Structure 1
């Protein structure tokens, strides 16, 4: 996930992307959710530089595996180095280079505790369907970049965010909440 609402510098910050154990950034929330779920398997869409992966792995149980997807191989190389420098073994994260709409359908239905979607775009409703099927009962899906009250303005992105909120609200299989963290998080647990 290329989410980073906190500036970082130095190797110490790389090793502890969430800073102190208590905080309110998107990265803190991802770590908290992974720990709360006692996540053994997680999916991240949008590897970025690896900060999101570090946060998720920091909350997962020992031996857990994060699958992180990004279409940009250069970002995946940076993330792989970030994870290695933080002391994570290669088997802790499975980095897949590819487009998420092509990769997600190949992942195991109901096999994941946490699915983290990078900054929401115009395809967010499609990503909800792709991500929801991956969740086990009790699993959580997170969309970054969804403000608590998506704008009523015209445009494809605003319309997509409003549709995503509506779909989550109306889905009886999901319990959703909007968190005013960073650019906004839309989070839902699968019943």
Structure 2
């Protein structure tokens, strides 16, 4: 299912310190975006553009991907990857900065899907922002949902802050009556929740 532009993006991502989502995760992202007819998507963690290509391929033809990353080089790679994959400059808005600085400036209720794949420790804070950004019926998706060990924290185990953050997001989604959640066992695990 991979084509040349996507293969190039995977190769670039493999050489960077931002490993790309695998093909199964990408396929799931495309499916999720298509299933809700996503026109406006926020991606936290641009990487080298792999997940952005998958999302764009699932979005409506006039859809716009807003992607946030602190690394200018990654965004340059992503911009090039989007172009090689056939997406014009108007289809992706790349914003450089930390997510917690950028997201508050985005429109409340203006997005169909928020995909989170950066700084796992900040996932609970990103969830707060995603809830504000999503329209009713929108979807939030967290990559790395299976990073949380099934082994409980105890006196002999030092808690991993990433696991703690992922568990917190999973707990909030599971306990929140407004969510329809699904944990997808692809890649590092995708937690998707419709609001």
Structure-1-length-normalised TM-score: 0.85
What corresponds to 1:170 in structure 2? 175
What corresponds to 2:165 in structure 1? 160
Q: Could you report, residue by residue, the CA deviation over 1:46-91 in whole angstroms, capped at 9, with x for unpaired residues?
A: 0001011101110111111010000100100000111111111100
In the TM superposition, 1:127-146 aligns within 5 A as 127-146=126-145
Q: Which has the higher helix share?
A: 2
**Residue 189 of structure 2 is aligned to residue 184 of structure 1:** yes
Structure 1 residues 120 and 164, CA gap change in structure 2 (3 angstroms)? farther
- Name the Cα RMSD after superposition: 2.5
Where structure 2 has 5 or more consecutive residues not aligned to the other structure, the ranges are 11-21, 154-158
Q: Is the 1:120–1:145 Cα contact (8 Å) retained in structure 2?
A: no
**Residue 1 of structure 2 is aligned to residue 13 of structure 1:** no
Secondary structure class of the residue paired with 1:103 = helix
Where structure 1 has 5 or more consecutive residues not aligned to the other structure, the ranges are 1-5, 17-22
Structure 1 residue 11, shift from structure 2 partner: 3.9
The number of residues matched between the two structures is 179
